[in-house]
Every structure is written in structure tokens, then in C-alpha cells.
Amino acid sequence: MTEPVYEVAIIGAGPGGIAAAHLLRKKGITDFVILERADDFGGTWRDNHYPGLAVDIPSLWYQLSFNPNPEWSRLFAPGPELYRYFQDTARQLGLYAHLRTNSEVVQQKWDDASGIWRLEVRDQPSVTARFVISSVGGYINAKAKVDIDGIDDFEGAVLRPNAWDDDYDPRGKRIAVIGTGSSGVQIAAALSEQAKSLDVYQRTPGWVLPKIDFEFSPLARKVLRLPGFIAAVNMLGRVLMDAFMVVPIVHLLPRLPDRILARLLPLYDKWSRLLYRGLLRATVDDPAYRKALVPRMGILAKRPVISSAFFKALNNPNTALITTAIERITRNGVRTADGVEREADLIVAVDRSRDLPARNDLERQRLRPRPLLPRTRDAQLCGHCASAPAQPVGDRRTDRLRRLRVDGLRRDNGRTRGTDDRRGPPPRCSRRRGQPRRVQPLERADAS
Ligand SMILES: Cc1cc2nc3c(=O)[nH]c(=O)nc-3n(C[C@H](O)[C@H](O)[C@H](O)COP(=O)(O)OP(=O)(O)OC[C@H]3O[C@@H](n4cnc5c(N)ncnc54)[C@H](O)[C@@H]3O)c2cc1C
């Protein structure tokens, strides 16, 4: 039996890696390494620094329980503040001593004979450990290229949320933002005031819920510093979240028989849409935009975007919402399927610019096929038929609820596709009700 170099190897130095390292140390395990392909702690918050980036969960909850921070500038902290917070946490905990930067793990392999994990690190000697904690996050690889027809012909600048060029000055530019997910909405809202013109290209309207955000005054920060205060607020929030979201959505709804659920959920969606139309009437001036912004999918189908600034931005005279499908990018801008070409100096490509975790080039090997799949794997398996977030796997009730949502999305897609949308019918999920989940065979490590 070979002795491993480390007791534990953690892959990834994002929030998850920091938490794992801290918990190991709390258990008295100090012989560990954190392998990070980039050059610092921070994960998502290190890699993303686009204009308008902010957390969409109040910072008093989006923080590590073992390092509550009373210094947040506002309820929804901006991205750079989160990056600093994770760096500071790692520094305070002395985790930099365990960090190996620029160390991308390309393969993790169990060596049966030696009883150790062997991690192949790009351009470096391999690392061995008795245990591996994979903390590579959910948004793994930026796609190498923006995959919109004609993008290579474009003569202006192309930026993506996870590869933002901070030196690019967007002031006075004609900007096209393609995609209205969380990042697209944040970027559009941040650039609207500065741009000469801003065209926001929306393919699928999503739910954009108000963000009740405010700055913490010096007095509020004094209160946050009171011993136990943040922990109490955190606990209260979690109880409310459990009472109003987790219990009804995760525990109550899935217990209902299918026939009741199938009637209840459309009703729920109808009411949500009614309220949403009220929100749009109160915040968006243009009736045509209001109509185009009503989501076709149900409110439970996908994590909503949280922003109060986006609808306001759409009221700016320089900002346009374009819902006609994009045909291609041209030398000077974006051409839509109706033949209209809108010129741009900068294209912000948000749509589909990230690869799903499954396409990460970290090849995993496990000894035995497991009865349950990790969450990310599940997202991959059903990701082709719905963008619904991965649910905890193995819980038959949540699984059933997700299938209903997926069915809802599919029905919805079929009914509402515009005439100029050339994508063809939505892909079908190959798994039928009652059929076991299709598990991609996991390679068995070679024991020899
Ligand atoms: C733009 C953006 C905004 C977000 N906003 C929110 C939000 O408001 N609220 C929320 O709850 N969630 C948000 N998320 C999700 C966010 O990613 C998680 O909340 C959190 O960062 C997950 O932490 P993590 O440590 O698991 O993963 P990450 O933060 O993704 O960290 C993973 C780390 O692993 C490293 N890594 C990956 N592969 C390898 C490899 N093969 N070898 C070595 N290192 C590797 C990466 O470089 C990275 O440092 C957002 C995500 C993005 C992309």
C-alpha cells in the first residue's frame, strides 16, 4: 500500500472549498491541499466581475455560517465585496497555506491496489490523497467560443460575463445584450444609463422579481455587530424560508396526487401571472414590452431573476427590448429573423456562454456505480429537456414535482413558439414516468 501525499485533496477554492477546508480543520484534519486551477480563492466571485454583478440572496444569508460578516455595504452585496469576503475568510482561517494555485485537476482516479486517489494535474506531477472532496462548483467551464452564427464576422467588441474586460469603456457605445438570465439582466440594468443605445435581446421571458435592496447605515452595522445578532437573523430567515417555500413546495405539493397537482399548478401559475402583470403595469411604461415580458413558463419552473433595476432600465429612451429571434451576427451588429439589422459597438453574449458541469474536462472515475446520482449529474441528464434547476435526487416526491414542471415547460414551449423561431420542436426527455433514471455508465477504475 502506497502512502498518499495528502490525507485529503479538495478540488476548487470557491465558497465550497473554503467551507470544506474549515470543516476538516475543525475535525482536526490538517493534512490537506486545496487544488485550484485559477490563482486565488473566490470561485464564481473571483471569475465574474461584470458591471452590475451582485448576489441575489440577501448577504446576511449568502455568507459562511462560521464567518458572519457585519460589514456588508448593502442587503444584496455587489460581486467585488463577495470576492473580498471569501479572500478575507480564507486569510483569517490560514487557508492560503494549503492552497495550490494554477493547478487544474484533469482526472481523478482511484487506485485500488494502493488504496489512494490519484489526481492528474495539468502540466504538473500528480497528487495523491486518501480522500477527495470535489468542490468544482456548478458553473464549470466558460465555452471556448460564443456560439451564435456570424460572431466571428463582428468587427466590434464581444464580452461575456465570465470573461469581462474591465478596461473596456462602455460609455457612449451602442450595446447589444443577448440573453436575459440573471447576468444579462444585471448587465443591461448597469449599462443602460451609460450606453448611447442598448438593445436587449430576449428569447424566453423569465420571471424577474423585485429586489428589495438597501444600504446598511453605520447604525445598522453596529446592530449587526451585536453578538449573536446575525445568527438570529439568519435563523429567522431560514425558518421563514422553510415555512413559506420549502415546506409547501418541497414537502406539501409533491404529496398531492398527480391529478390534483396537474390542476393546481396551472391555477397557481395563472395567479402568479396575474400578480406579475400588475407588477409590470406598475414598473414598465411600454405596453408592448409589458406583454413581451410575461413569462410563458410557470413560476416554479426556473429560479427567478431578482432585479428591480431591469424594468426601470427598459423605460430609458435609449433602451430597447427585442424579442424577434436572432438570425445572425453581422459585421456591424445583430440581424434578427425579420431582416432588421441593428448596429452595435459591443455585443455582450450572455446566452449559453457556460458549459454544463457534465462537459467539464475533469474526468471522474468512481469505483462502483452508485444508486443515487449527485445533483450536478442529474442536472446533466435532464438538462436537455428543461432548464429547471436540479432537485435533490432520490426523493421520489421532488422527482415527481420536477417531472410535472418539465412537462409544463414542454407543453408551454410547444404552444408559444413564435413563427420566426427556427429552432424546431423542443427536444423530448427520453425518460418516461416510472422508468428508472438513465445512468450513464461510470467507468470502473482499472485495479491493475
Ligand atoms: C455570475 C454568477 C452569479 C451567481 N450568483 C449567485 C447568487 O446570487 N446566489 C447564489 O446562491 N448563487 C449564485 N451563483 C452560484 C454560485 O456559483 C454559488 O453560489 C457558489 O459560488 C458555489 O460555490 P462553489 O465553491 O461550489 O463553486 P464555485 O464558486 O464555482 O467554485 C469552484 C472552484 O473550483 C475551481 N475548479 C473548477 N474545476 C476545477 C478543476 N478541474 N481543477 C481545479 N479547480 C477547479 C474553479 O476555478 C473555482 O474556483 C452565481 C453564479 C454565477 C456564475
User: Ligand 1: does its nearest atom lie under 6 Å from the Cβ of 140?
Assistant: yes
The region of weakest confidence among 62-71, 237-246, 336-345, 385-394 is: 385-394
Q: How far is the CA of 95 from the centre of ligand 1 (A)?
A: 18
Closest CA to 326 of 337, 313, 315: 337
- Report the distance separating Cα 382 and Cα 368, nearest Å: 22
* pLDDT, tens digit (0-9, with 9 covering 90-100), for 387-423: 222 233 334 444 544 454 444 444 444 333 333 333 3
Q: Which helix (H) or strand (E) holds 321?
A: strand 319-322
- Per the DSSP assignment, residues forming a β-bridge with 334 are 329, 342
pLDDT of residue 434: 41
35 Cβ below 6 A of ligand 1: yes
Q: How far is CA 269 from CA 99, 118, 261, 298, 311, in A?
A: 47, 49, 12, 5, 21
Mean pLDDT of 343-362: 67
C-alpha gyration radius of the chain: 24
What's the rounded mean pLDDT across residues 194-204? Answer: 97
CA distance 166 to 448: 50
CB 133 within 8 A of CB 9: yes
Is 354 near ligand 1, meaning CB less than 6 Å away?
no
Question: What is Dmax (Cα atoms) for the chain?
Answer: 71
Confidence bin at 31 (pLDDT 50/70/90)? very high
Q: Which of 38, 37, 41, 27 is nearest to 94 (CA)?
A: 41
- In whole angstroms, give the CA distance from residue 357 to residue 155: 31
- Asked if residue 270 has pLDDT above 90, the reply is yes
395: closest CA among 420, 378, 381, 382? Answer: 378
Pocket test for ligand 1, best of 22, 33, 44 (most atoms within 8 A of CB): 44
Statement: residue 32 has pLDDT above 90: yes
Per-residue confidence (pLDDT) for residue 39, from 0 to 100: 97
Range with the poorest average pLDDT among 35-49, 167-181, 352-366: 352-366
Mean pLDDT (the chain, rounded): 82
Ligand 1 in reach of 56 Cβ (< 6 A):
yes
The predicted pLDDT at position 301 comes to: 87
Q: How far is the CA of 160 from the centre of ligand 1 (A)?
A: 16
Residue 367 clears pLDDT 60, i.e. is over it: no
pLDDT tens digits, 229-254:
999 999 999 999 999 989 988 899 88
CA of 13 to the centre of ligand 1 (A): 9
Per-residue pLDDT tens over the stretch 70-124: 999 999 999 999 999 999 999 999 999 999 999 999 998 888 888 899 999 999 9
What is the C-alpha to C-alpha distance for residues 177 and 165, in angstroms, rounded to an integer?
15
Q: Closest Cα to atom 34, ligand 1: which residue?
A: 12
Q: Which three cell numbers stand for residue 302?
A: 426556473
Q: Are 132 and 120 in contact (CB under 8 A)?
A: no
Cβ neighbors of 382 (< 8 A, separation 6 or more) are 388, 390, 402, 406, 429, 431
Give yes or no for residue 136 CB within 6 A of ligand 1. yes
Which of 187, 140, 182 has its CA nearest to residue 347? 187
Q: What is the pLDDT of residue 432?
A: 42
Total-model pTM: 0.80
Helix (H, G, I), strand (E, B) or coil at 188: helix
DSSP letters, 96-140, are GGGEE-S--EEEEEEETTTTEEEEEETTS--EEEEEEEE---SS-
14 lines ligand 1 (CB under 6 A): yes
Q: Tell which residue, 424, 436, 432, 425, has the closest CA to residue 406.
A: 432
Q: Which tens digit of pLDDT belongs to each residue from 134-171?
A: 999 876 566 777 888 999 999 999 999 988 999 999 99
Tell me the CA–centroid distance for residue 331 and ligand 1, in Å: 34
Q: 3-state DSSP call for residue 199?
A: strand
- Is the shortest distance between the CB of 44 and ligand 1 below 6 Å? yes
